[in-house]
Amino acid sequence: MNGDALHRAVHDRLAAIEVLADKPEENADNTLRALWHTAAGQPKSAIAAADAALPPLDAAMRARLDALVAERLRGVPLAHLTGRQHFLGIELISGPAALVPRRETELLAGAAIACARELAAANPATPILVVDVCTGSGNVALAIANAVPAADVHGADLSEDAVALARSNAALLGLADRVRFEAGDLLAPFDTDRFLGRVDLLTCNPPYISSTKVGQMADEIASHEPRLAFDGGPLGVTILMRLLQDAPRWLRPGGWLAFEVGAGQGGAIVRRLRGIKAFDEVRELINEAGEVRAVLARCADGDRA
């Protein structure tokens, strides 16, 4: 079978895959290309592979491609097979240790980067202190550090395995000297004088799916990605409520809290934030579907009141 025939045959097999709403880039063509590059020993995410020329495959590589396609058809996430996921312009190592970064989280990360740039411009002589909790693979923390050289970034996750993955990503991107990751429960790793009342930007992509709905998610997600990254408790907001309560203790006056929320949660979360005196400005971030999917809140500054 020549290369064109192989391409058509594999594409036809992959056409049966359901494209999940939270991974819209993983269509049959991009999936084929990502698996093809991986079989050739050049692992790429679906986005990175989309415009890359397909390398020739020898017999062993074709066998590897066939095995990868079979695994994908069995529901193994594409990012677990390639070991790569694209996020806001950077290629990350991906695997079962942490949530596969989603395009929807780029809304949060993009807003956090814009905020970090404003903070850095306002005080160019001093690095801005950024903390990212529920960091997972480190995607938000690393996207900020990659885009804002003045950012001193720290991340944390309850999962030791996720922290190890985040550290590997920092090393891959050459950011290990500017981004440090610790294991611990939410903000606990930063309960020191260096961070308390001094954080310029606090970000979080928390678990926000209610416990009863986690098992109802697509099998590709529920059976392969860590439940810890999804399960937000009985109502889906257990971690979010802790974050809103705890954040003012770490933020400096004028510092920002930025976090993702689940579909349908934004309105109630924003109303709650606007009732907390520790915050003096709240911004809603709307996705392409018109839903509030991320929120920013500024810690009250007495000098501005």
How do the domains of the chain map onto residue ranges?
3-82, 103-299
Confidence of residue 178 (pLDDT cuts 50, 70, 90): very high
Could you tell me the pTM of the whole model? 0.94
Q: What percent of the chain has pLDDT over 90?
A: 78
What is the token pair recorded at 72? 């994908």
Q: What end-to-end distance do the CA atoms of the chain give, in Å? A: 72
CA pair distance 46, 85, nearest whole angstrom: 7
Confidence of residue 303 (pLDDT cuts 50, 70, 90): very low
- Distance from chain centroid for Cα 270: 22
The CATH number of 103-299 is 3.40.50.150
- C-alpha dist (Å) from residue 301 to 123, 130, 167, 201, 256: 16, 18, 34, 14, 11
Predicted local confidence at residue 143, as pLDDT = 98
Nearest Cα to Cα of residue 102 among 192, 208, 198: 208
Taking residues 40-67, report their average pLDDT: 95
Name which of 76-80, 92-96, 97-101, 229-233 the model is least confident about.
229-233
